[in-house]
Amino acid sequence: DTAVSQTPKYLVTQMGNDKSIKCEQNLGHDTMYWYKQDSKKFLKIMFSYNNKELIINETVPNRFSPKSPDKAHLNLHINSLELGDSAVYFCASSQEGSGGYNEQFFGPGTRLTVL
């Protein structure tokens, strides 16, 4: 059973388009995240949601809008795609209060290529 799943796995699109990436977790966790991994493999947090509430927004452009319809889903919508948005986007989840540490479980990633 897949714990954290993302769709699509690959996304190729033209500059200026709008696209969405979906994430679902079946672990019963209450916190979900989006990370961006650039071409040099550097990983950086974008957003964090706890019980459907946005708690972290790390200076991400307004073109990126996360949406959490329920605790098991966190989707990422990107407007007016730019070349610099090309990256691998990872979704993750964790359970708050799990022994005082934040073990996160990651999805397989979505490779976004903007042409």
How many chain residues are in contact with other proteins, going by CB under 8 A? Answer: 28
- In one-letter notation, the amino acid at residue 31 is T
58 binds other proteins (CB under 8 A): yes
90 binds other proteins (CB under 8 A): yes
Distance of alpha carbon 54 from alpha carbon 85, whole angstroms: 21
Residues 6+ apart with CB under 8 A from 80: 16, 17, 18, 63
Closest approach of other proteins to the CB of residue 80, in Å? 26
51 binds other proteins (CB under 8 A): no
Q: Which range in 13-21, 40-48, 66-74, 76-84 contacts other proteins by CB under 8 A?
A: 40-48
Q: Which residues pair with 107 in a beta bridge?
A: none
Cβ-contact 113, 86 below 8 angstroms: yes
Residues in the site for other proteins, rule: CB under 8 A? 4, 31, 33, 40-45, 48, 50, 55-56, 58, 90, 92, 96, 99-109
